[in-house]
Amino acid sequence: MRISPKVILIEHFLYPSAIFASYEPARVQTILGSCVAVCLYDTLLGVGGINHFMLPCWTGQGMPSPKYGDIAIKKLIEKMSAFGSLKQNIVAKIFGGAEQLGRADGSYNIGSRNVSVAENILAAEGISIVARSTGGVTGRNIVFYTHSNKVLVKALKST
């Protein structure tokens, strides 16, 4: 009988407006409401990365930050490219985008706007979305394993 070696994982909690990518196997956890996380995985190299953004697009005022989806996704793609990843080998998973903010009629639609930005940028970059858990009205706790592209999703109870 062959015993496989235990994989030692980097443990990381991803805060809003942050990006994480690693050659080393990592377990990355984040909590999402209207925010969105995009997980990218290179199917050839076996490396991955994740972002957590709060708003869809940078307005051009202030510093361009990964707080904004258009900045966060492009920065994550740049990090993957720095590892040697080619876009044709990268797949994406997207999570979050619940409608938790705004007036009772949901008129701000921050969650759905965040999801739309992720979909549009990934399509423009030629990166396929292979899984998702988006929308709704409850938040999510996600755990992403950068070395396997496995994502665990747990719905949070609304209060």
Q: Compute the mean pLDDT over every residue in the chain, rounded to the nearest whole number.
A: 92
User: Does any domain span residue 158?
Assistant: no
Torsion of CA 41, 94, 15, 34, to 10 degrees: 170
Q: Tell me the sheet residues that pair with 154.
A: 141
Three-state DSSP class for residue 20: strand
Tokens read off for 109: 């639609």
| Overall domain count for the chain | 1
Q: Of 121, 133, 142, 128, which is closest to residue 43 (Cα–Cα)? A: 128
DSSP letters of 119-156? HHHHHHHT-EEEEEEE-SSS-EEEEEETTTTEEEEEEP
**Residues 100-124 pLDDT 10s:** 755 445 557 999 999 999 999 999 9
User: Does any domain span residue 37?
Assistant: yes
**Residues 128-147 pLDDT 10s:** 999 999 999 999 999 999 99
H-assigned helices in the chain? 69-82, 110-125
Give yes or no for a contact between 142 and 152, defined as CB atoms under 8 angstroms apart.
Answer: yes
Give yes or no for a contact between 55 and 69, defined as CB atoms under 8 angstroms apart.
Answer: yes
User: Does any domain span residue 53?
Assistant: yes
Write down the pLDDT at residue 100: 72
Write down the pLDDT at residue 6: 67
User: Does any domain span residue 77?
Assistant: yes
Tokens read off for 3: 């015993």
**CATH number of the domain to which 19 belongs:** 3.30.1330.200
How far apart (Å, rounded) are the C-alpha atoms in residues 116 and 46? 27
Say yes or no to pLDDT of 2 above 90.
Answer: no
User: Does any domain span residue 4?
Assistant: no
User: Does any domain span residue 56?
Assistant: yes
Domain of residue 147: give its range: 11-153
User: Does any domain span residue 1?
Assistant: no
Say yes or no to pLDDT of 88 above 70.
Answer: yes
Average pLDDT estimate for 90-97: 98
Who wins on pLDDT, 7 or 55?
A: 55
Question: pLDDT tier at 157 (50, 70, 90 boundaries)?
Answer: confident
Write down the pLDDT at residue 5: 61
Write down the pLDDT at residue 62: 86
Say yes or no to pLDDT of 22 above 60.
Answer: yes
Give yes or no for a contact between 135 and 97, defined as CB atoms under 8 angstroms apart.
Answer: yes
How far apart (Å, rounded) are the C-alpha atoms in residues 26 and 20? 10
pTM over 0.85: yes
User: Does any domain span residue 159?
Assistant: no
